[in-house]
Chains A and B, each alone.
Chain A
Amino acid sequence: MSGYRISEGGRINRDKKLDFRFDGQNYQGCEGDTLASALLANGVRIAGRGFKYHRPRGVMAAGIEEPNALVQLESGAESTPNVKATTIELYHGLEARAVNCWPTAAFDLMAVSGLFQRFLPAGFYYKTFIWPDWHVFEPLIRRAAGMGKSPETNDPDVYEHRFAHTDVLVVGGGPCGLLAALTAARSGAQVMLVELDREWGGALLSRKTTLTGADGLAWAESVVAELEEMNNVTLLNRTTAFGFYDHGLMGLLENISDTDAYQKGRARLRQRLWKVRAGHVIEATGALERPLVFPNNDRPGVMLASAAQTYFNRYGVAPGRRAVIATTHDGAYEVALDLHRAGVTIAALADARDQTDCAAAAQLRQAGIPVFFRTTVTDAKGRRGVTAAELHGLEGGAVASPGTGRMVACDVILASGGWSPSVQLFSQSGGKLAFDKEIQAFTPSHSVQAESSIGAAAGMFSLRTALAQAVEATRRAVATLGYDDIPAPAAPLAQADDPAPVHALWRVDVSRLGRPGAKAWIDFQHDVTDSDVGLAVRENYASVEHVKRYTTLGMAADQGKTANVNAIGVMEGLLDKPMAEVGTTKFRPPYDPVSLGALAGRRVGENLMPLRRLPAHEAHLAAGGRMEDYGGWSRPACYPKGGETEAEAILREVRAVRGGVGLFDASPLGKIEVCGADAAAFLSRMYVNNMKTLKPGKCRYGLMLNENGIVFDDGVVACLREKHYLVGTTSGHADAVSDMLQEWLQCEWGNFEVVTENVTSGWAVMTVTGPRARQVLSRLQTTIDLSREAFPHMQIREGRLDGAPCRLQRVSFTGELSYELSIPRGYGRALWERLMEAGAPEGITPFGVESLMVMRTEKGFLHVGADTDGATMPADLGFGGIIAKKSDDFVGRRSTMTPEATREDRRQFVGLDVVDGQGPLKPGAHVLAAGDGPPTATQGWVTSSVMSPSLGRPVALGLVQRGRQRLGEEVRIWDLGHSRRARIVAPGRYDPEGERLHD
């Protein structure tokens, strides 16, 4: 038994008891407790285990910096791994388990790995990559390490994002943050104030503070009350500012799950991720206390001095009954006094400095508490919890002197190595840090964005000075935003305080005590010791960035909040280089872990990469369409009937089209209107093909390149009337082509009198195709003459169809007689149903994208993106002749004349016939020279391959070196060790003369 609840004081409600479970044991805490304070109040000393060696660990801190007491909170789908017990607000029925251990933290069978400590040095993983073999160790290490466990079922909760714009964002609701927010708010600026804690007040919650003669917390409450009344202020507690990005963008994580509403099951919203654009950011993020680095400083019972003060003043919990305090500065004296008054025995206070003249020291002496100067802790005794502290006198400020030792019995060691300003957000904003010798810490020095640090975050540890500076910094900030007539509040007057300089003690040197194996922890969460850093330096990792990666120091979930500055101090000694020159590693977001759920927000399930819907979506579902993602559209792949496989459905659909008539929803086909006096000239520049000669009512196939001469898109261009064209693009490519047209018009050819508009989704497009297509259409009322003579292949007509305006094109991707009917989108579903009804006598069959792909492959029609890749040029597809005949320039033409483009052995688009009597070739299989034996160099690959229902044999297309000159040649098709035989043929084995198109 160590910690205990004291009878009075603190901000908890002793009348409201809360039952909870930790590691399978039942406990009781009070309303207002955190899980950590409740565990301490129940005397629980071992709250977790070390990550690597599984040594017992106790609660070390009282806030976000806690490295040891990590828990798996709750179980099942809502379980959250690696939550700090110090930040969990206790609620009735809470259930948590320590991580890094099995079965419990108190009795951990995995602690056996501690026996192998000397075999797990810094860089252990990297060394096993070289010798003997990482794979030998991997399963063992993965099982032993790894922190908590992710839930295995879907998270039932809701996470949302929220965007906000504000003039001033104040991060931190301590005294300086509150005063800054009030100053900014009174100026009329829009203000957001965020605080990661449940309560406002920051350090005022932990330290008894008097402001202008009154209780500091009462002042804080009055400020919050005033801010709450102002409509230009947004207050967010339980909210962590985790990332400061470019242009004043701050990421915030608001925890809603900790609120009463959530716990009582009234709300489903668990967390909210804010993206805030701020005109000015004020970092009032405070500072974090540093542990002392002495042997066995990771024992349960070794705690930060400020944490003990917080547990006592805020939660009414004494961290132990008999304490030894070790410090390098004046701050810990106040802690000693607080605990002494609460009845905790202060067995000794060891100060590494020569002396101090602070008032609290005199009071301690009067109270008879032994204070030792030039002394510090050199060892913590007690395997499962501190039983004694060994003290030694110091020589040269850091070296323990033999013969000066004394053993002091205690159950808690409270250590303070000074304070490090929380400069993480400042550093993320791009700001530069400087080393301040007075406080032995890094402080903000050069701003890059519109931001200011105030209070302890700026390295200002005199509250009186910090409050005055907070008002001034805020006035300057809001003035730059145009709020310069400010009735600013007067800063409340704190007690005069002038903290004495901090003594630098980065590592207690026990070498003269003759303890070669002694280990002192620097990074508690990742189990990195001073000897690990020493080894890294000996192995010549001299840069702080390299030491970080080699030892994994500062790379745990706590991002080294308590470790980084100590590590730099240790490196100073090892490298004989001042800390300012050693420098810090780059701070990166997030400051504190952010759940994947919060990052995803609403983008889960059907909201992730949402698919676009066809106008006749419901009709496709009713017809049994198997919907899949094609270029961002939800489209039917095929329409299986009564137990058909996909292959059987495709076979039936293709046969129905070839032998009768089919119906296809082609609405995603890109449709871009191009209009203006120079429209023809413009399109001729955009396409390989000449569009200037295209007459009204006619259509022409065209190939579009990018500037590098690579095939970008293909489609049919129709001339609606003089100077007005309809550009067709491949499905799913309409936006890209539309953007490309605009880019050339806006950036390069400003003199062209042309406008364009992407009208793709305004039209529903239904393709009626097959030898009986005309009969089906003849049953609809239309103003358009459908006869072969009046309306031949590759022409377009405008008119009306069953009362609605329509555009009708005779173009075909199936190889059969085809009519593409375009009708305003709202009539799309009705048109589908009308065509199904009109085509019933012909047995009209709906068919999906996969069936269409089979038919176009039979026909040898190119599919850009499938039969072409990022290197395919028009001549490879047989467009060399068209280019040679075209006199005008076009996008990509220059690139088609480069040596690369005119190489003789380029891969060309050809057909491939299987000659071994087996099934279809594998798409992606390599084309090699014929022959047996080991595979030879690739000559190309299969790009499309299907079983042809129309020909009764496999057909394939491919890109093959010099393919067109090798028609009839047999080649070897190689795929993952299997070889097949095939023959190069001209593409288009079905109706090669195209007679059926012109029917």
Chain B
Amino acid sequence: MTELALLSALGSTNSPWIFEKGENRLEEELFPGLLKITLRKSDRALRAVVAEKAGLEPPDRPNRFVEHGGLRCGWLAPGEWLLSGPEGEVAALAASLGGALSGTAALITPLSHARSVLVLTGPQARQCLMTLTPLNLNPGSFKAGHCARSLLGEAGMYIEATGEPPVFRVIVDQSRAEYAWRLLRQALEVLPT
């Protein structure tokens, strides 16, 4: 039998969902590599293992992410980080970290299938998100290199600001991908042009 076909949370196979309004663009990131690292009490020794295998050390500072060699590691909570990058690379890293941390109070959880990534860019991206999240998105308070967990409508989200002019990566549970897409699209639709 042939291998099982892979679908994104929005049902895409190889062309992502895209919605544009003016100079703003909402796009589904197809099959991202996502990995959650959970270390009991942020254990230093375990973090060193992660640093060695991943090539970057999970950041200490809350609400910041670090990048190295195509991988990005963002702070989620004390002892919890979200690592993202190309799917294959992240899968390989998951396997090697899983082996290295086996038997310790650490969990390496592949989240590529559990989450959906929506990328919002454009001059009004901030304004659009401000209709949906109570997070302080003022340019001085949330800028490139910042990340946070908050709400998008009624769904939990993790958000990263990755560039200027604003590029926001909005990461939600895959079962709420369609809802998150709809909210963002509706918010874009009524933006004044």
Chain A contact residues, CB within 8 Å of chain B: 158, 160-165, 190, 261, 267-269, 275, 277, 602-603, 606-607, 609-610, 612-615, 618, 633, 673, 675-678, 722-723, 753-757, 759, 761-763, 780-781, 801-804, 823-831, 834
Contact = CB atoms under 8 A, between A and B. Distances in A.
B153 A610 contact: yes
Contact of A160 (B79, B105, B187): B187
5 contacts: A158-B190, A163-B131, A267-B190, A607-B179, A803-B3
Contacts of B153: 602-603, 607, 610
B93 to A, nearest CB: 16
Name, among B5, B109, B113, B183, the residue most crowded by chain A CB atoms within 10 Å (CB to CB). Answer: B113
Contacts of A756: 38, 107
A609 B192 CA distance: 28
A78 B89 CA distance: 54
Interface string B147-165: 0000001110000000000
Contact of B4 (A261, A603, A609, A804): A804
Contact of B109 (A163, A165, A759): A759
B154 A825 contact: no
Interface string B166-183: 000000011111110011
B186 A802 contact: no
B39 A755 contact: yes
Interface stretch (B19-27, B55-63, B64-72, B132-140): B132-140
Interface of B: 1-9, 11, 31, 36, 38-40, 79, 103-107, 109-114, 130-138, 141, 153-155, 173-179, 182-183, 186-187, 190, 192
Given A261-B192, A755-B105, A761-B175, 18 more contacts: A158-B186, A160-B187, A162-B131, A163-B130, A267-B190, A269-B190, A275-B134, A606-B179, A607-B183, A610-B155, A673-B107, A675-B105, A677-B104, A678-B105, A723-B103, A762-B174, A803-B3, A825-B113
A264 to B, nearest CB: 13
Contacts, number: 147
- 3 smallest CB-CB distances across A and B, nearest first, come from A762-B114, A803-B3, A612-B175
A763 B113 contact: yes
Given A160-B190, A606-B182, A762-B113, A675 B4 contact: no
Contacts of B36: 757
A163 B183 CA distance: 15
Q: Is the interface of B mostly helix, strand, loop or mixed?
A: loop
Contacts of A753: 40, 104-105
A111 to B, nearest CB: 44
Nearest to B173: A761
A762 B107 contact: no
B178 A165 contact: no
Contacts of B111: 762
B1 A834 contact: yes
Contact of A830 (B5, B131, B174): B5
Contact of B113 (A160, A826, A830): A826
A277 B137 CA distance: 12
Nearest to A763: B113
Contacts of A615: 7, 174
Contact of B5 (A160, A612, A614, A827): A827
Contacts of A677: 103-105
Nearest to B8: A826
Nearest to A633: B175
Contacts of A161: 131-132
Given A676-B104, A676-B105, A804-B4, A607 B182 contact: yes
B105 A754 contact: yes
B107 A610 contact: no
A277 B131 contact: no
B190 A163 contact: no
A757 B155 CA distance: 18
A754 B103 CA distance: 10
Contact of A803 (B4, B79, B138, B178): B4
A345 B75 CA distance: 75
Contacts of A804: 3-4
Contacts of B192: 261, 267
A190 B138 contact: yes
B179 A610 contact: yes
Nearest to A273: B131
B102 to A, nearest CB: 8
B9 A754 contact: no
A610 B179 CA distance: 7
Contacts of B174: 615, 761-762, 825
Given A607-B183, A723-B103, A826-B113, A613 B138 contact: no
A763 B109 CA distance: 12
Contacts of B131: 160-163, 602
A998 B4 CA distance: 30
B187 A834 contact: no
A165 B141 contact: yes
A162 B130 contact: yes
A762 B94 CA distance: 15
A829 B7 contact: yes
Contact of B107 (A190, A675, A834): A675
Nearest to A163: B134
Nearest to A803: B3
Given A277-B136, A754-B105, A763-B113, A602 B11 contact: no
A265 B11 CA distance: 35
Name, among B107, B130, B187, the residue most crowded by chain A CB atoms within 10 Å (CB to CB). Answer: B107
B155 A802 contact: no
B4 A165 contact: no
Given A269-B190, A612-B173, A823 B4 contact: yes
A826 B6 contact: yes
A828 B6 CA distance: 8
Given A161-B131, A613-B175, A757-B38, A675 B113 contact: no
A190 B140 CA distance: 10
A830 B175 contact: no
Contact of B138 (A160, A165, A781): A165
Contacts of B187: 160, 602
B110 to A, nearest CB: 7
B109 A673 contact: yes
B88 to A, nearest CB: 14
A618 B65 CA distance: 36
A277 to B, nearest CB: 7
Contact of A603 (B8, B105, B112, B154): B154
A825 B177 CA distance: 13
A759 B114 contact: yes
A62 B127 CA distance: 35
B40 A755 contact: yes
A184 to B, nearest CB: 16
Contacts of A803: 3-4
A269 B192 CA distance: 10
A609 B7 contact: no
Contacts of A607: 153, 179, 182-183, 186
A267 B155 CA distance: 27
A140 B38 CA distance: 66
Nearest to B103: A723
A827 B6 CA distance: 5
A165 B138 CA distance: 7
Contacts of B178: 613
A164 B154 CA distance: 18
A403 B41 CA distance: 90
Contacts of A762: 109-111, 113-114, 174
A801 B106 CA distance: 27
Contacts of B2: 802
Contacts of A610: 153-155, 176, 179
A835 to B, nearest CB: 11
B132 to A, nearest CB: 8
Contacts of B135: 163
Contact of B106 (A603, A609, A675, A834): A675
Contacts of B109: 673, 757, 759, 762
B30 to A, nearest CB: 10
